[in-house]
Amino acid sequence: VLAGRLMAAMPGERLDGRLAEPVRLEARPALLVAEAWLAGGGAEVPPYAPFADRRPLLVLAGGEGREGKSLSAAWVLAQKDGRWVACSELAQTTIAKYDRDVYLSPDVLVLDDAGAEALTEWVKGRVYDVLSERIASGKRTVVTTNIIKREAFMARYDEAGSTRLDKRFAESGRWINLG
């Protein structure tokens, strides 16, 4: 727990008597990817793709832990104002309490740990709507997931028999498999 709190602390800040160290971007490839995506042009992050355009959706995929997916998403929010939403939180939101603006209005939205939530048709529809509408509006969205294959991710959230989300993603998203 202390290590996680130290990562969230500002560099130079003391927490429980320990000094928080700055996270070096080169120490975590996911941070380099997030930085290049946020800059939106001309950056290269070997062995990943060059970031020559400003695609609004970034999916950081990989196994459980160690790649720095969530840390990188938090770094993006430290650079730009936005909102952090755990997909499990979205899954627990009732229909009566669901407010689309919470997910659609921020300039930057992080959907953390997509694929770990209990999937119902209602949750599937909400994740689909949020991703689809944010892509359509060009608003920046970072998704972290332990689902390694893009096809499996799209099959989980796209409407039955549809490839609309996958088509939008192909035009407006970056899938980075860190695992």
Give the list of residues 6+ apart from residue 125 with CB closer than 8 angstroms, or none: none
pLDDT tens track for 6-30 = 344 444 555 555 555 555 555 667 8
Query: Lowest-confidence range among 20-24, 55-59, 74-78, 139-143?
Result: 20-24
Nearest CA to 48 among 37, 33, 58, 26?
33
pTM of the model: 0.80
Per-residue pLDDT tens digits for 127-166: 888 998 998 898 999 999 999 998 888 888 887 767 888 8
CA separation for the pair 140, 148 (Å, rounded): 21
- C-alpha–C-alpha distance, residues 36 and 19, integer Å: 28
Over 70: is that where the pLDDT of 4 sits? no
How far CA 63 is from CA of 68, 95, 145, 147, 177, in Å, comes to 10, 31, 8, 7, 9
